[in-house]
Chain A
Amino acid sequence: MSAIQPPAETVWWKQPLDKVEGTWIAIALVWSLFMFIMMPLWHIYGKQNLSNEAYRTTPQAFLAKTQAMVDEFTVRTETAANMPVVRPPPGSDVYILGRLWQWWPILELEKGQSYRLHISSMDWQHGFSLQPVNINTQILPGYEMVMTVTPDTSVEQTIICNEFCGLGHHNMTGKIYVVEGGP
Chain B
Amino acid sequence: MNKELFRTCPESGLQFHKPAETLMRTNAVLAVVILLFGGITALLVTLTRWPAVHLLEASQFYQVLTLHGVNMLIFWMITFEIAVLYFCSSTLLKCRLATPRIAWLGFALMLIGIVVNNAAVLNGDASVMMTSYVPMPANPNFYLGLILFAVGALLGCFVFLGTLIIAKEEKTYEGSIPLVTFGALTACIIAIFTIASGAVILIPTYLWSIGYINNIDAAMYRLVWWALGHSSQQINVAAHVSVWYAIAAIVFGARPLSEKVSRTAFFLYIAFLQIASAHHLLVDPGLSSEWKIFNTSYAMYLAVLASMVHGLTVPGSIEVAQRAKGLTNGLFEWLRKAPWGNPVFSGMFLSLIGFGFIGGISGVVMGTEQINIIIHNTIYVPGHFHATVVIGSTLAFMSLTYFLIPVLFRKQVMLPGLAKIQPYLFGIGMMVFTMAMMGAGTLGVQRRHWDMAFTDAMIGFDYPASAYTFMGVVGISGVAAILGGAAYVLVTVLSVFFGKPVGSESSFGFTTSTLTRAEPVVMPEGGHEAAGKWGFAAPGTFLLAMFFLVIFVLYYAVNWKYLASVWPIS
Contacts and interface: CB of A to CB of B under 8 A. Distances in A.
A50 B297 contact: no
Interface stretch (A22-30, A60-68, A69-77, A87-95): A22-30
Contacts of A138: 222, 281, 283-285, 376-377
Given A18-B528, A162-B446, A173 B454 contact: yes
Contacts of A162: 376-378, 446-449
A10 to B, nearest CB: 4
A51 B570 contact: yes
A24 B549 CA distance: 10
Interface stretch (B327-335, B426-434, B504-512, B533-541): B533-541
A48 B254 contact: no
Interface string B105-140: 000000000000000000000001100011110000
B379 to A, nearest CB: 9
B211 interface: no
A25 B286 CA distance: 36
B175 A42 contact: no
Nearest to A40: B293
Interface string B538-565: 1101100100010011001000100110
Interface in A122-177: 123-125, 127, 129, 131-145, 147-153, 158, 160, 162-167, 169-175
B210 interface: no
B488 interface: no
A150 B180 contact: no
Given A23-B542, A47-B570, A166-B136, A136 B378 contact: yes
A173 B461 contact: yes
Given A10-B175, A35-B368, A20 B541 contact: yes
Interface stretch (B25-33, B154-162, B305-313): B305-313
- Interface centre among A17, A40, A170, by most B CB within 10 Å? A170
Contacts of B459: 79, 158, 173-175
Given A48-B373, A135-B569, A160-B446, A140 B284 contact: yes
A18 B374 contact: no
- Interface centre among A17, A137, A151, by most B CB within 10 Å? A137
Contacts of B312: 20-21, 24
Contacts of A132: 443-444, 464
Interface residues of B, number: 112
Nearest to B319: A20
A164 B129 contact: yes
B1 interface: no
Contacts of B364: 35
Nearest to B252: A2
B179 interface: yes
Contacts of B259: 7, 9, 12-13, 15
Interface string B217-251: 11100100000000000000000000001101110
A143 B301 contact: no
Interface string B438-460: 00000110111111001011111
A47 B179 contact: no
B478 interface: no
A135 B566 contact: yes
B141 interface: no
- Interface centre among B133, B250, B253, B298, by most A CB within 10 Å? B133
B135 A10 contact: no
A119 B177 CA distance: 54
Contacts of A129: 377-378, 444, 446
B395 interface: no
Given A21-B309, A25-B261, A158-B461, 18 more contacts: A4-B179, A4-B180, A13-B259, A13-B260, A20-B536, A21-B313, A24-B309, A35-B301, A42-B370, A48-B373, A51-B570, A54-B285, A79-B459, A131-B463, A135-B374, A148-B570, A162-B447, A166-B136
19 contacts: A6-B175, A19-B535, A20-B312, A23-B542, A24-B312, A31-B549, A35-B297, A35-B368, A38-B560, A42-B560, A48-B566, A136-B375, A138-B222, A138-B377, A142-B218, A162-B377, A163-B377, A164-B128, A169-B62
Interface of A: 1-10, 12-13, 15-21, 23-25, 27-29, 31-33, 35-36, 38-40, 42-43, 46-52, 54, 79-81, 83, 102, 123-125, 127, 129, 131-145, 147-153, 158, 160, 162-167, 169-175
